C-alpha cells in the first residue's frame, strides 16, 4: 500500500555551529553549488510533500530568512545534544499522530527515493523506530548497529564503547531515523545527560525501546554517499565532487 505522507512529519536538525568549517556561519548555511546545505535537505522533505520542522540555534535567523515559510521552526538555544534538539519540537508536534522522520541538515546528497524506502521498511516491519544504516569499509569512529538473530536492532554502540568483536561490525548508524511519533516523545522522557558530554543523546531512545522489547528495525542504504555529513571544509569538497558526478555539471 502506498505511503500517505500526510501522516508524516520531518524534523531537520540544523542548530550546529560548525566550528570545524572555519566560519561563523551556521554549518548548514555553507554553500554547495550556490545553495546552502540545508536547502538540499528541505527539498527532500518537499519532494515527499512534507513541510518540515527545522531546529535552529545560534544565528538561526540566517536559516529562517533563507527558508522563509517553506518550514516551521523550533529553537535550540543551548547545544545539549540531538535528543535535546528533538525535545524542542515537542510542543509543536505533541498532538501529531503518525511517523516522525529525523534528518540532519548537513546531508545534502540524501534523496527522497531513499527516504521512501526507509519509511516503507518501517511500516513493513511494524517497528517502533527504524534506522537508515550503511556498511563502511572503515567504520572507525562511527556508532555500530548490533542486530538480533531475527535482523531487528539489539543496540547502537558507539565506537569508543564497543568491544573488539563489536568493532568488527561494518554496519554504521547514519543518524537518519523514522519513529512512531508518540513513542518518540514518550521515550525522550527517559533519557538523561549522564555521559561525558553532559548531553541528551537521541540514540539513548533506542536503548529505552530495546529495554522495553519494542521492535527497532534497520535498513542499509545501497548509496553510501547519501548519508555523508559535512563537518569540515574537506568533507564539503568531497561532497562537491560527488554532486558533480551525479549531476554532470
121-152 burial, b if ≥16 CB within 10 A, otherwise e?
bbeebebbbbbbbbebeebeebbbbbbeeeee
Q: Which residue has the cell 543518524?
A: 175
Size of the chain, expressed as the number of residues it contains: 249
Helix/strand/coil percentages in the chain, nearest 5 = 40, 20, 40
- Identified catalytic residue from 20, 59, 116, 167: 20
Confirm whether 144 is a catalytic residue.
no
Contacts of 143 (CB under 8 A, 6+ apart): 156, 157, 158, 159, 172, 173, 203
Measured CA to CA, the distance from residue 103 to residue 120 in angstroms comes to: 16
Active site (catalytic) residues: 20
Amino acid at each position: 500500500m502506498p505511503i500517505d505522507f500526510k501522516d508524516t512529519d520531518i524534523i531537520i536538525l540544523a542548530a550546529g555551529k560548525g566550528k570545524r568549517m572555519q566560519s561563523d556561519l551556521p554549518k548548514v548555511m555553507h554553500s554547495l553549488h550556490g545553495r546552502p546545505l540545508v536547502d538540499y535537505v528541505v527539498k527532500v522533505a518537499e519532494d515527499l510533500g512534507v513541510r518540515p520542522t527545522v531546529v535552529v540555534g545560534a544565528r538561526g535567523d540566517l536559516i529562517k530568512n533563507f527558508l522563509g515559510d517553506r518550514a516551521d521552526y523550533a529553537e535550540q538555544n543551548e547545544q545539549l545534544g540531538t535528543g535535546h534538539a528533538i525535545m524542542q519540537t515537542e510542543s509543536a508536534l505533541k498532538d501529531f499522530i503518525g511517523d516522525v522522520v529525523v534528518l540532519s541538515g548537513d546531508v545534502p546528497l540524501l534523496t527522497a527515493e531513499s527516504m521512501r524506502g526507509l519509511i516503507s521498511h518501517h511500516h513493513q516491519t511494524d517497528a517502533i523506530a527504524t534506522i537508515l544504516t550503511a556498511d563502511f569499509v572503515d567504520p572507525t569512529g562511527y556508532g555500530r548497529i548490533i542486530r538480533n538473530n531475527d535482523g531487528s536492532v539489539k543496540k547502537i554502540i558507539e565506537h569508543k564503547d564497543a568491544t573488539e568483536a563489536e568493532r568488527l561490525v561494518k554496519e554504521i548508524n547514519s543518524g537518519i531515523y523514522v519513529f512512531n511519533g508518540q513513542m518518540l516523545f514518550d521515550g525522550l522522557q527517559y533519557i538523561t545527560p549522564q555521559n561525558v558530554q553532559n548531553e541528551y543523546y537521541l540514540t539513548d531512545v533506542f536503548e529505552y525501546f530495546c529495554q522495553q522489547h519494542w521492535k527497532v528495525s534497520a535498513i542499509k542504504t545501497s548509496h553510501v554517499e547519501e548519508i555523508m555529513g559535512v563537518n569540515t571544509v574537506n568533507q564539503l569538497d568531497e561532497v562537491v565532487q560527488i554532486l558533480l558526478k551525479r549531476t554532470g555539471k
